[in-house]
Structure 1
Amino acid sequence: MTATDYDLFVIGGGSGGVRAARIAAGYGAKVGIAESDRFGGTCVIRGCVPKKLLVYASRYGDDFEDARGFGWSVGDTSFDWASLIANKDREIARLERIYEGNLKARGVTTIAARARLEGPGVVALSDATRIKARTILIATGGRPVRYGDIPGAAHIVTSNEIFELPRLPKRIVVCGGGYIAVEFAAIFAGLGVETTLMHRGAKILRGFDEELRDGLMEALAGRGITLRMDTVLEGVAECPGGFNLALRGGETVETELVLSAIGREPATHDLGLETAGVRTGPRGEIIVDAYSETSAPGIYAVGDVTDRINLTPVAIREGHAFADTVFGKKPVKVDHSLVPTAVFTTPELATVGLSEEAARAQGFEIDLYKSRFRPMRNTLSGREERTFMKLVVDAATDRVLGCHVIGPDAAEMVQMAAIALHLGARKADFDATVALHPSAAEEFVTMRDKWVAP
């Protein structure tokens, strides 16, 4: 066994770990990083990036259909799943090379191995190398929660495997009600797959504004997705052409593929956390302070492994703040409030700030401003789908507390609105802004009338 000393050793080559390693190296630290799979982590390899590419693919059907209303005659519109996956794989490989190349350009040592803690300041690699480091950062991210207690669970695929399907199924059942479930339901429906979204809860997207939850469910159903809420899967059995799903209550459903998207959990298994004195929570999440330090001095953690806000940009921000704090000697706490987020269904949903329900729960007296309209593109295409926008405003101070959108380019609009909310914008500031016409976003600065409950 050999030993190598580092100022910083990072366990996990995802977005948060890579950012931390690069910034720390920029401050002059000797940095090593170990990744047992592929550099880039979940987001780049089997998450946000390939998912968004599939989202784009799934929307071309709408484009071809809508084009007729604008005078275009559309010819062959056949779709080839294998071509999409091959092109996706080439792009992911390119991004992976960039991630690893950027690390090496900063002088970071990259190691293809699994790493685990052996004690304070000591990391053991799967290739029998022992690492000594003054500071250790755990950035191993999360992993899909699997059905483990029902018959036939081995037949169910997760978001890890869904990107590698050899062919497009004709029928799919997607289990879950969060981001991943609703996004993949929309993707497959857009690609012409007979799609069922099955969720044990009464509504999708727990924690989002209730009007957005209801509005997206209505829109997904309008696109032909079968929504089965309050439904529990109890078993999966093979049958000719696919699988027979046993549901609680005795009903059965046949499908060609079952995707489990029932949640994710921190990837802390077999990291040796107990050995190093790192405290974890009930879901296995690593408990950290405001500067991402664990209960073991000199050991830090960022990203989904801490189960704070499980979004890639948050992991990147935490990794950067860690490096600034520890190696740049500039203490930085990450502000986890007002984090914008999007659900890349079709139609798209995006939000920043407080929902109506959260604002009321926090004791605010609020004013609501709402707009529901048919986007201009839909007038000639004949599509009936509508955009919905909502502002939640503190009645006492006029400060905008929340901004919510369902419709095309929702994410693009909310990203910019997030800047205004971070600056403490009031509704009067929105009103004083000149509208950009014709656009959907102009509705945010032209909504003048407070919503009054009927």
Structure 2
Amino acid sequence: MTLSFELTQSVAILGGGPGGYEAALAAAQLGAEVTLVERAGVGGSAVITDVVPSKSLIATADAAVAIAEAGDLGVQLFAKGAHGKPLKPEIAINLAAVNKRLLTLARQQSDDMRAALVEAGVRIITGHGRLDSDNAVVVSTGPGGTDFDRVEADTLVVSVGASPRQLPSAMPDGERILTWTQLYDMTALPEHLIVVGSGVTGAEFAGAYMNLGATVTLVSSRERVLPGEDPDAATVLEKVFTRGGMTVLSKSRAEKVERSGDGVVVTLTDGRTVEGSHCLMAVGSTPNTRGIGLEEAGVQMDASGHIRVNRVARTSVPNIYAAGDCTTFVPLASVASMQGRTAVFHALGDVVIPLDRRRITANIFTAPEIATVGWQEKDVAEAHINGIVHKLPLAANPRAKMMGVRDGFVKLIARQGSGTVIGGVIVAPRASELIYPIAIAVERRLTVDQVSRVFAVYPSLSGSITDAARAMHHVERADED
């Protein structure tokens, strides 16, 4: 519905990433005057240098693996040599062409998003913006900061994102020591890529370049990869990494990274060194909140520079909201989008459902993918909630057997007694798609019996979800519908 106001409300948005973009569309839909300030392009770093290009790269890596493993399904690729003798061709990766394609896709996505905003009536200003007071944004639009534009608004939304964290002892040079935004300048596959950091970003890129054919060493300061994720899922992924030839250095912290001729040397805190051709620093991110007037406006932030927000994305200043990776909330593009919409709905008086961390779906785009939602097994183990956990390996799924899938599982978490689904983990190809029915179950508070009564296609990977739900029938003692 469209709200009507006695006086037209105005909204100014600083940053055009997923949060700012969705905030602008929602505000325009509700009839507000909307101005969006963005320095790099609509979509922000998420679209231009992060999510879109990285997942496009991973899609290429997945295709390379599918071709390489096609022989397991009886598909054989041969070329005819001299005298008709069959030759088995090698898979070659043209990284320059791959990077050109993914950056083109990213720019096209940015252009499409910009066109959608223009069609919705959003005013877009290209430049560096900062808060001038609690109801205005000043934008530097000219070269060298010589031209300025001032935008006053009833509501301000800050969605400035974050940038790769840089360490003084391992400063990126854009050639051999790289952040994840600089990988796409490479014209050839790295001979030996050392990835420092085994969180989501490090694991995704390590797996992708391994599958593209590069030698990869992953330096993990923790006991296992993906230390913040489901341990069973991390174990599966580390097994896949090792089987694929990756060297995983657990409990190994990088002390410094240096150039060495046409390569790099990573020195670990225990004195060991690792030599490679390139090094990717995947050690977290830093919010882009410094020097944009937040402190002067009275907006509270953490020591890390992240903006403190509540469940409707509101800051400590009533008419200033914030969304995305620059906030203290979950750093996911989907969350940023929801925060942006929620902020505008709250500011303009529309219906608002406060964000709930326990209902957020997340995915790690490794091979296999790892998708999660809701409460996790560690929450049950640590007695944060009274729940039951059931894990079903994909090896038992007929569709997985047909596809040659060897790794993965479906894990459901249900509340003891009622059988209400409160969480889940899926490790599988396209887990990002398969997690959706579990997310619906968590959101709508469905029981395992209700989930088990939904027909799944036979054979299908999603059938493992209903199979897992059926196996948990004993945990539900609620009355039948």
Task: Normalising by structure 1, report the TM-score.
Answer: 0.92
* Alignment of 1:306 onto 2:320: no
Equivalent residues of 1:325, 1:332 under 8 A apart = no
Shift of 1:197: 1.1
d(CA) in 1 for partners of 2:452, 2:113? 43
Q: Tell me by how many angstroms 1:151 deviates.
A: 5.8
Q: What corresponds to 1:107 in structure 2?
A: 121
2:376, 2:189 → 1: CA distance?
37
| Structure 2 counterparts to residues 43-442 of structure 1, below 5 A | 43-75=46-78, 76=89, 77-127=91-141, 128-148=148-168, 150=169, 154=173, 156-374=177-395, 379=401, 385-442=406-463
CA contact (8 A) 2:319 2:347 kept: no
Cα 1:290–1:8 change in 2 (3 A) is: same
Matched residues in 1 for 2:22 and 2:371: separation?
Answer: 25
Alignment deviations for residues 251-292 of structure 1 (CA, whole Å, 9 cap, x no partner): 111011111111123221111111111111121111123332
Could you tell me whether the CA contact under 8 Å between 1:435 and 1:446 is conserved in 2?
Answer: no
Measure, in 2, the Cα distance between the counterparts of 1:303 and 1:65. 38
CA distance in structure 2 between the aligned counterparts of 1:14 and 1:410, rounded to whole angstroms: 25
Q: Kindly tell me: are residues 35 and 363 of structure 1, through their superposed partners in 2, closer, same or farther at Cα, counting changes over 3 Å?
A: closer
* Cα separation, partners in 2 of 1:55 and 1:22, compared to 1, 3 Å: same
Task: Give CA deviations for 1:136-178 in whole Å, capped at 9, x if unaligned.
Answer: 1101011111112x16654531111123323221110111121
Q: Which whole-Å CA distance do the structure 2 matches of 1:413 and 1:136 have between them? A: 37
Moved more, 384-393 or 40-49: 384-393
**Cα deviations across residues 393-417 of structure 1 (Å, max 9, x unaligned)?**
2222211222111121211110222
Three-state SS of the structure 2 residue aligned to 1:185 is: helix
For residue 21 of structure 1, what is the aligned residue in structure 2? 24
Partner Cα separation in structure 2 for residue 279 and residue 31 of structure 1: 25
Structure 1, unmatched stretches of 5+, are none
Offset at 1:120?
A: 2.0
CA RMSD of aligned residues (A): 2.2
Q: Residues of 2 paired with 1:54 and 1:377: CA distance?
A: 26
User: Would the aligned equivalents of 1:9 and 1:133 in 2 still touch at CA under 8 Å?
Assistant: yes
CA deviation after TM superposition for structure 1 residue 357, in Å: 0.7
Q: Deviations over 1:351-383 (max 9, x none)?
A: 1111111133344333222222436577578x6
Task: Give the 3 Å change call, closer, same or farther, for CA 58–331 of structure 1 in structure 2.
Answer: closer
Deviations 1:278-317 (A, max 9, x none): 1111211111233322222321111111120111111111
Structure 1 residues 366, 335: closer, same or farther in 2, change over 3 A? closer
Q: Distance in 2 between matches of 1:225 and 1:152?
A: 24
CA deviation after TM superposition for structure 1 residue 218, in Å = 1.7
Match status 1:11 vs 2:14: yes
Which structure carries more relative contact order (alpha carbon 8 Å, separation 6+)?
Answer: 1
Structure 2: 5+ residue runs without aligned partners? 1-7, 79-88, 142-147, 474-481
- Asked whether the equivalents of residues 219 and 385 of structure 1 are also in contact (C-alpha less than 8 Å), the reply is no
Given that residues 153 and 236 in structure 1 are in contact (C-alpha distance below 8 angstroms), is that contact kept between their aligned partners in structure 2? no
Match of 1:42 in 2: 45
Determine what percentage of the aligned residue pairs are the same residue: 27
- Residue type of the alignment partner of 2:93: F
* Letter paired with 1:116: R
**What per-residue deviation string (whole Å, max 9, x for no partner) do you get for residues 102-123 of structure 1?**
1111111111100011222222
TM-score normalised over the length of structure 2: 0.87
Give the direction of change, closer, same or farther, for the CA distance of 1:6–1:144 in structure 2 (3 Å limit).
Answer: farther
Q: Structure 2 CA distance, aligned partners of 1:88 and 1:449?
A: 43
Matched position secondary structure for 1:398: coil
Q: In the alignment, which residue of structure 1 is the partner of 2:477?
A: none
- Equivalent position SS for 2:69: helix
Deviates more, 1:400-409 or 1:137-146: 400-409
Structure 1's 152 and 160: CA in aligned 2 closer, same or farther, altered over 3 A?
Answer: closer
DSSP-derived class of the 1:306 partner: coil
Aligned residues between the structures: 445
Distance change (3 Å), C-alpha of 1:331 and 1:423? closer
TM-superposed deviation, 1:69: 3.6
How many angstroms does 1:6 deviate by?
8.2
Matched residue type, 2:116: N
